[in-house]
Structures are given as structure tokens and as C-alpha cells.
Structure 1
Amino acid sequence: MSKVKLFSYWRSSCSYRVRIALNLKAIPHEYVTINLVKDGGEQKKDHFLKINPFGFIPSLEVNGDNNQNQIFESLAIIDYLENINPEPSLYPKDLIDRANAIAITESINSGIQPLQNLFVLAEIENLGGNKDQWAKQLITKKFKSLENIMTKTAGKYCIGDTITIADVFLVPQVYNAYRYGVDMSQYPTIERVNKLLEEHEAFKAAHPSVQPDAPKQ
């Protein structure tokens, strides 16, 4: 197995996804903290922009200290992990299940998380809005659609009874929902699946509260 280094931040939901995938696939890795809030954000500093010119985390470095071996964007990273370590697979073999897993994943990846990330929330605040209220209302609205989808696809997990990439993306987004005070009782399917996943060792080990850079309680 190649040397793997994850540039992460404890409360980053996108990094949280990759931590889950690394754990599910039992891939050893080094954790490198990029503090998103200290001194205006380390992700904006020159040393990190050489790693990821977009200034976002997570970023995954493979095969040693070489910026050309950086993979960024959580979905691309997880796709890479899937290919280097195909088992257990995060994609269902059944084509309809696979399509549904990707649809749920993309609804979170494109339709929810980007609209409540740090950059967007800062812009909302700059325009005089309430960033926390924005995030809460956004997630509340989007989760209504997600709940409707999952009532049709879920078994124990998002897609039947096997953990898939949809679950990897769901749990960090639910973490954000709780953070912004969303009433999760409105979404019984999402809440049930999330609670079960939170008991899985790979998800527990990826939780923000147990990361090395998480604030000490």
C-alpha cells in the first residue's frame, strides 16, 4: 500500500467523508491538520495552495511528499480509494441500487453541503444575513426531499442493508444538521439510518470529536 497522507480538519464534513471511507477500507494514513479558522484559515496560505490551488480540504497525498500526487475533492478521493482497495465496495452491484446510491450522494455533494460551507456562510454574513439561520433553513428544506427518496431506497442503511457511498456522505451531513439545530425528528428514515451508522466502528473513528485536532472537552 502506498503511503497515504490526509489533509483534514476535524469539523470539515468533506474530510469526515474521506475519513469514513479510509476506515471502511482499513487504509492506514497520516492525518495532517489544516485549520480552517486559525489566522484566517490555513487553507488560504501559500504552502497549502501549492497542494490544492482551490484552497479546500480534504486533500490526499499518495506515494510520498510530492505535490503532483495530490488528489482533492472528496468524491474523487473516495473514487481513488475504491479503485486501489475495491473491497469492501462502496458501490452496489445492482444497477438500480448503484444509481440510487450515486443520486443520494450527489444530492448531498452538490445540492446541500456546498450551500452551507464556510465560504458561502461568510458571504451570507457579509450581505447582512444570518448564516446559521440560512444553513438551518437550507438543510431543513433539502432533507425533506432526501427523506422522501430514502423511504423508497433504505433498508438498514441508505440503500438496502449494505453500507454504500450514500451512507458515507449522509452521516457528515446529518452531523451538520444537528450542529445547526435542525429538528431531525421530521426525518425518521434519515435519523434511523444515521443512528445505526454512528454505531459502526469505521464511522465512530471518523467522528469529528475524536480527531487529533478536535478541541479538548
Structure 2
Amino acid sequence: MKLHGYYRSSTSYRLRIALNLKGLDYTTVPVNLLQLEQREDAFRTRNPFGGVPMLEAEGRDRAQSMAIIEWLDDRFPERPLLPADTEGRFTVRELSYAVATELHAPLNLKVLQYLKSEFGQSQEAVDRWYRHWLANTLDPLERRLAQLGTGDFLLANPGMFEAVLIPQLYNARRFAYDLSTSPHLARIEDACAGLPAFIAAHPDRQPDTPKED
């Protein structure tokens, strides 16, 4: 398998975590979003959505990270990312898709760039936009976790929810979002931070991570 992605893309990051949790081997193919490589004809021919990640697997170019994660769980049922029981699967999907659908759309790079290029917004204004939408979803997510009475992870082991959550919290910290009132989110983040699957997937450890001088 080949994973076409960008080191700091939250969707590429979540897919790296998912692949690592399942113990699947893959090669990383960097796609530089800042240089708009995802919009080049050669890439769009393979992925009409013009975004990352794209996973080459079993003779097909697969797009949309959440669909890929669910496909991975169907295709490689060992080390499942979702539990077997219906209620558990609903819980994982409810929280995972809250992050994936409510946060990724208003906070991805092309939206932030559009706010600047088309509406003349300053970086400070863009940062406020980012933190507003984070609170809009992370606050109720924190309340749901409190209702569920979670431990180090949503369920017994890290899975799809943690794969989706951790990249978003990484981005939240980049934009100086205050997580001090989110103890359940912070506890899950801390528990994941020491696990090999999450360490290897971190943006600082990717082949396209900019090297410090």
C-alpha cells in the first residue's frame, strides 16, 4: 500500500494512525499541499477530489479518509478499529464523525486560505475562526465523553475515534486552543501519546516533515 499524504494534514495523520493500529505496512508518498501538488492534473486524474489522503491499495486509488478507515476494518478485520457490538459501533461512529464532519470542513487548509485570499481576513481573524469552530464541537464532545464515563480511551482499546481525535487536538494546540477545560479529551490524548502507533504517525516523524536548520 502507498499512502499519498501531507505530514501535517489531519486526515493524512488519522489514516497513518489507523494503518499503524492495524499493523499494516505502507509506503508514504508526500503530496505538498502548500505547493498545490494535490491540484495538479496527474493527481486529480487519480483522485478527482483533489485532496489527501489517497491510499493505493489492491489495484485502486482510494480517497476520503473515513471511508478508507472503514474499508480497512472490513478488509483487514484483525486488530479492529470498531467494536463488534452494534451499540459500541454507534458510539465510536457518533464521536468520530462529529470530529470528521463538523470540524474538518470549516477548518481545512483551503478554507483558511480562502478566508484570507477572498475575504481579506488577517491571520488573527483566521485563528479566531479556527478556535470558534473547535469549541463548537469539542465542548459537546467533552460532555458526551463525561456522560459515557470513559477511561484512557473511548472503549477498551484505541481505535477509529482516537485516530480521528488526536490529529484534531494536535491542530487545536497549534492554534492555541485552550484544552484545560476538557479533561476527558486531554486524558485520551495523554494515553495515546505514548503508544507506538501514534508516535510513528506524528507529523514530526514523517518523510516530508521540514528539517530544522
User: How would you bin the TM-score normalised by the shorter chain?
Assistant: over 0.9
Q: 1:190 aligns with which of 158, 161, 185?
A: 185
Q: Counterparts in 2 of 1:1-217, with a 5 A limit?
A: 4-38=1-35, 41-63=36-58, 69-125=60-116, 126-129=118-121, 130-153=125-148, 154-158=150-154, 160-217=155-212
Per-residue displacement from partner, 1:195-216 (whole Å, max 9, x unpaired)? 1111111011000000010011
Moved over 6 A (4+): none
- Partner Cα distance (2:30, 2:89) in 1: 33
Q: How many residue pairs align between the two structures? A: 207
TM-score, structure 2 normalization: 0.93
- Partner Cα distance (1:144, 1:8) in 2: 29
| Structure 1: gaps of 5 or more residues | none
| Structure 2: gaps of 5 or more residues | none
Secondary structure of 1:36 counterpart: coil
- Partner Cα distance (1:26, 1:146) in 2: 28
Q: Which is bigger in relative contact order (C-alpha 8 A, separation at least 6)?
A: 2
Secondary structure of 1:137 counterpart: helix
Code of the aligned partner of 1:189: H
- Partner Cα distance (1:178, 1:194) in 2: 12
User: CA RMSD of the aligned region, Å?
Assistant: 1.2
Per-residue displacement from partner, 1:38-73 (whole Å, max 9, x unpaired)? 2xx100111111111110100011235xxxx11100
- Partner Cα distance (2:75, 2:87) in 1: 24
Are the aligned partners of 2:99 and 2:164 in contact in 1 as well (CA < 8 Å)? yes
Alpha-carbon deviation of 1:108? 0.6
Secondary structure of 1:184 counterpart: coil
TM-score, structure 1 normalization: 0.91
Code of the aligned partner of 2:144: I
Aligned in 2, Cα 1:13/1:54: closer, same or farther, shift over 3 Å?
A: same
